[in-house]
Amino acid sequence: MLSCKEVVVEIERRLDGELSWRARMALRMHLLMCRHCGRYERQLKLLLAGLQRLHSPATDAEVQQVLDAVNAADPGPSSRL
Ligand SMILES: [Zn+2]
């Protein structure tokens, strides 16, 4: 099973469309069982959806900016375990 730290990286890779089917299933399994990572993913989705409502779809640079801000503000789900 993926560690919480790996999940944060995998969520970002999935946003970039870089995950294989197998990797997406491993990620989904972890998200179903770990509420910390589930909450992290929901917050990220809300942030990205909010960006899209403000203006046209976010550019790669804007997505990266959000990810950087989230990572800076929240050291990651693994720190809470
Ligand atoms: Zn987790």
Supply the pLDDT for residue 80: 55
Supply the pLDDT for residue 79: 58
Supply the pLDDT for residue 77: 62
Supply the pLDDT for residue 51: 79
Domain ranges within the chain, ordered by starting residue: 4-76
Supply the pLDDT for residue 37: 96
CA of 64 to the centre of ligand 1 (A): 21
CA of 40 to the centre of ligand 1 (A): 9
Place of tokens 């997505």: 63
| HEC string for 17-79 | CCCCHHHHHHHHHHHHHCHHHHHHHHHHHHHHHHHHHHCCCCCHHHHHHHHHHHHHHCCCHHH
Supply the pLDDT for residue 71: 87
Run means of pLDDT, 10 residues per run, the chain, 81 residues = 94 92 96 95 90 78 89 69 55
CA of 13 to the centre of ligand 1 (A): 16
